[in-house]
Every structure is written in structure tokens, then in C-alpha cells.
Amino acid sequence: MPLSKWRIALNGLKTTTNADHRPRTAPDIALPPDITAQIATEVYELIMNYLVDVQSLLACMLVCRAWYPRSHHLLLRLMACRPRAMSGMFHGGAGTINCAVPYLDSEGAVIYGASDGIYLGTKDASRDRLISLRNVTHIEIFYDVNLLTADSELVSFPLQSLVTRTIKSLEAPRAKNLIFLTVHRSVAPGQRHRVCVLKSSTLSGVIKVFDIVRDQRGTRLTSAVELYIPMETSSVHFLTHTRVAAVLKKTVARQSAFEMINIVSAETQSLLDPSDTRLAFASKKDEVGRAIGVFGVSGNFLVCTEKMAFFIDRHGRLAEDSTKLKWKDKVASVVINGKYLFAFATECLEVWNLEDSQLVQRIKGQYRPLNDMPTAKEQLLMLDLNTHHITKSVAAAPPQACPVDHKSLGSTSSQASCPVAHDTPKPAQCPVDHDAIDIRNQMPHLSQDVAPSQSTSLPTSRTISSIPRDPSSKWEYPSPQQFYNALVRKGNETPEELAHVETMVEIHNFLNEEAWQEVLKWEKRVHNSDDIQLTRFKGRPGEISPKARMWLFAGWLLPSRFNTEPPFDRHDWIVRRPKTGEEVRYVIDYYSAPPEPDGSPVFSLDVRPALDSVGSIKERIAVATEEVWAALRKD
């Protein structure tokens, strides 16, 4: 079989790499090393084998084929978040950084606590010790009342006076020898912020609650209540303004490690309803592991342990229609930031979407959280234990879903085999049984069964897309197992493929969702409604659209001004408008764009309605006219 141009390009790339397997001429993409190690460009070599000869390949293979030099860049865009080291943000004093919070009044600045005091670090890599304290392990800032609190000796400072170093005198510590601090930021009018601290011994614990009071004398902490717990306690967490949850270190048989305490009445009871038999697993330490904490999420509470997390309602019963979050590794701490949960394990960081209880990302590396309770305006800060730099979590768009009909997948099972009958030579033909192909997506039925040559199990779950298929359902993703079975069917399975199948599926998903967003922009020009549906589509990688041919001709005439490379892929999508029943065909060309100045690769999607109806022609003319006028006004 002749090699395709993509295969030739790949071989050419391999001949221009150095000992580190990097291109000699192309600039490196500035990515964290622990992320770039997650995916290898060689993964895409086997995907490119059948690009020209087989027209009905899986969509996931078609869109992935030209992305091997861009895989690192795409992977970053797919992430729910990515760790980014803050330039020069490391501690040069005694000890190490124990905690940190973003200082929102100065861009890129951080206030952090260390073994020898509280420091202000700025984005120009300078640091200034604001005050000398011993072993600061937790810092909280209340911007609305201009207050900063810190432990392990509970002290508070006027924020601006601390930053400008104009504090006249230090108040006495409100509590000493603390092991945990938590806060409740009140949003109700007239309700005060609260700070809760924990002192614990081998047999008991003491909880102290302070209110933040602001009057003519300034902002300060005032003692509200002090509670005694006759059990060794590891942490406390606010459930409401008047209730806290205590996490016990040691429990007796069938006893929950979570106790709820009423601050007003000092009454104590189990946080988990003992009459709910569905929560029997929570008392089995070998199943849930060590208790970590409790967090409020969308009207319910998320109970976290070192092996899993689960939702309970306000009555302590297992929440209806909830899903357990089972960590891949034992975790030491958990932080919630926005809609994501970050579970910190020894060698990796797991990111979970709390809206659908799905694991969306695993980041390899050793990290420790620095701000346990970031507000909506704050980024999660972590300490990279390898470099000892403060690292922030940069939010990104989560992976989206794929507009491919896989609802009936798994009805047949196929074995890996060569599609050519070697005993009797015959002309090259498509190895897919077209009688078994869904006409809406040009996709064969794939099995969820483990392949005979498969050594590691793959997830079989599929994510629902945001792209409507009909009024009652949306398109679904192929699972990693189905994707791998497709590779097996083409004879492309290798151990390297198996190790990166999940990442390859994510890259495919991202492209489909980006294309759908462009379709929505066009449709909003016709009618401001989001009820359109993608009824079917077809991959046409061997056919160049008329518009692409026009740009290629322009590039041949004026290569310095126009693109000279054809699109590496093409899809045709059929979109239905339910209000009118009209079906509109969209053409999608996938281009490789010039890299950015820093060397980051760029891609481009040309999405537009096909010129096969009067309405589509009018829209194309209108958009082209608007673009010309916009360019003239800019000039």
C-alpha cells in the first residue's frame, strides 16, 4: 500500500529529531515536563496508516491523524486545569512554604506562610517578609473587612497595614498549638464571618469558634464558643453558620468518623444517618480508608475519605441519584475550587467534575495544596514538591463530547485481522461491512468486549455530548475500550497505543465540540435558538471542498499571502432546525495554521453552511460582506 503524505511527513519528522526526540529546527513548546510526558507523538503513527485507502474510518481516527505534532498543545487545551509554576515564586528563607493565598489587590502576587513568618511574593520574583512568626501553616484573607488571619498561633492583622508594614502593635495570639483552622465566609446580611480552630490531644479535642467583628475600633476576632470533644480529632469543617463537622481519628466498630456538632447547643450526633442502610459501607475502614473532610456542594454535603467521596443530603442520608467518586490512588487531601474537586495523591493529582461526578484529568507529579478553601475569585495554589515552587491551577475548558451515534455500539464483536485475503489477490477495498454501518454517522458497530491481545482493562463508560441528536437525546462518545477495539480491527494495536488511548479519545472530543460551537454561531444569525440538532454527518478526508481549492489556487498565485497547504481533513454535518424542519449541510475544513511566535502550534477550523440552498448563500454573502467592512474600518 502506498504511503500517504501524512505518513511521509511523519517519517520526515523522525529524521529531523535530536537525541531527545525533539525537532532540531522547530522551537519547543513551553509546557510543564510532567504534562508533556503524558503523551508521545509516536502514538499517532499507527493511526495514519489507512488514511487514504479507507473512506469510512472511525471519526476519532480521522480527526486525530494529523495531530501528532500538536498533541501536547491540544492536551493542554483539553485539560480542566493545568499546573503552571509562578515565575520566581519560591521561598529562599528557612524551612519551606506551608500555605499561600493569592493577593488579589496586586496582579500575580501571593501572600504565603513559611516556617519563619508571613511573606509577600510578587510576579517579579521579589519577596518581602511582612512579619516574623513561627510555623505559619494556614492563612485566610477577608477582603471585605480588611483582615488576615494565620495560625499555628491564631493571630489576625489589618490586611493593608500588614502589606504596607505600618502595624503599630501586635495583638496577643487568640489560641496556641493549633492543628487545624477553617472559616465560614458569611453572605447573609448582618451575619459575621467565623473562624474555627482545633486543638487536639491523644484522647480529646477542643474546638474554639471566633466571630470577626468590625466596629469603630477596627476589625478583630472575638470568642464565640468553646467546645470539648472526648475523642481524638484530626480536623473540623463548617457545615453551616451554626454547625460544624468533626473528623475523628479513631472510631469503634460501626461508628462513623464524622460527627456533627451544633455550636449553639453543643449537641453532638453522627453526621451520617445510622438508619440509612445504604451508608453501611461508610463504617468499613478497609473500604473507605481514613476520613479526610466534609464540603458543602450544591445543597448537599460531599464526604471525603482517602479512597472515595460520596454525597449526603442535609439529613445525613445518601443523596438520591448520586455517584460515588472512587479515587484511582489513595489521597491525602481534597480541595474544591469551583465545579472541580482536586484530590491530592502521592504521585498524581486527580481532577473531578462535581457536576457529573466524573474524573476528567489526572496530572502526574507531586503536589501539596497551599490554600485549602479558595474562594470563587481565587485560584488553587499548590507547592510542587520537586521544585518547591508555588504552582497555580490555571482553569481551562474541560473535554467535551463527540457527535457520533454510538448508542447501538457493542452489538457485535470483531477480531483483529488483516482486511486483505492473501490467498486470492483481489483489488483493494474497504474492510468495513457497510450493511452494518449506521447511515447517520458512517460508523460501524463496535464492541465493548476486551480485545484478545489487550493486557490492560480500559474504561467502557461513555460521556454524553452537549450536541443534540434529537429532541430527547444527545450524541455520545466512544469509550476508550471501543476506540481500542477499532484499532484492533485495523491491526494497529500496540502497548503504546493501549497506554494512550484515553488521551487520544480526549483529543478527538475536543475537535468535535469546537466545530459545533462554530455551527452554533452561524445558526444564531438565522434564529436565536439553541434547539438545533445534528442529525448525521460524514467524514470526507479524500475530498477537497471548492472553497479549499480556491484558497489553494490563491496560494499558488501568491504564496506569500495565502495558505499553500490543503486542509488535512473534511467533515460534512447535517443540522436540522426543528422549528421549520429544514436540514442544512455544513462543511468543515481542518487546517494546520502557522505556529505562534513562542512556537506553540495552532490549528484552524473553517466551518460554514454549504452553498446548496438560497438561505445558505445569503448567509455566506452577508458574513463575507461584514468581514470586508470590518477589515476596511480597521485599516
CA distance 330 to 344: 8
Q: For residue 463, give the nearest of 385, 357, 614 by alpha carbon.
A: 357
The residue whose grid cell reads 466571630 is 211
Asked if residues 80 and 340 have their Cβ atoms less than 8 Å apart, the reply is yes
pLDDT for 16 equals: 42
The helix (run of H) or strand (run of E) holding residue 5 is helix 5-14
State the maximum Cα–Cα separation within the chain, in Å, rounded to a whole number.
96
The three cell numbers of residue 163 are 502589606
pLDDT for 574 equals: 92
The three cell numbers of residue 115 are 516556617
Asked if residues 624 and 632 have their Cβ atoms less than 8 Å apart, the reply is no
Asked if residues 537 and 573 have their Cβ atoms less than 8 Å apart, the reply is yes
pLDDT for 542 equals: 73
pLDDT for 596 equals: 65
Starting at the edge strand that comes first in sequence, how are the strands of the sheet with 155-158 ordered? 138-142, 147-151, 155-158
Please write the tens of the pLDDT for every residue from 367-418: 999 988 888 788 889 988 888 888 888 766 444 444 444 454 444 444 555 5
| Distance set, CA 290 to CA 43, 99, 327 (Å) | 39, 23, 13
Residue 551 makes CB contacts below 8 A (sequence gap 6+) with: 562, 563
CA distance 109 to 144: 18
Please write the tens of the pLDDT for every residue from 158-200: 888 888 888 776 777 777 778 888 999 888 877 889 999 998 8
The three cell numbers of residue 592 are 494546520
Burial class (CB in 10 A: 0-12, 13-18, 19+), 372: buried
Asked if residues 239 and 246 have their Cβ atoms less than 8 Å apart, the reply is no
Helix (H, G, I), strand (E, B) or coil at 629: helix
pLDDT for 418 equals: 59
The four Cα atoms 534, 535, 541, 546 give a dihedral, to 10 degrees, of -80
Burial class (CB in 10 A: 0-12, 13-18, 19+), 368: middle
- Residues of the chain whose pLDDT is less than 70? 1-79, 87-88, 92-94, 169, 253-254, 395-446, 453, 490-499, 507, 541, 594-603, 635
| CA geometry: angle 153, 155, 161, nearest 5 deg | 145
* Domain residue extents for the chain: 5-80+401-417+431-630
Q: Give the pairing of strands 291-297 and 443-444.
A: unpaired
The three cell numbers of residue 77 are 487545551
pLDDT for 474 equals: 87
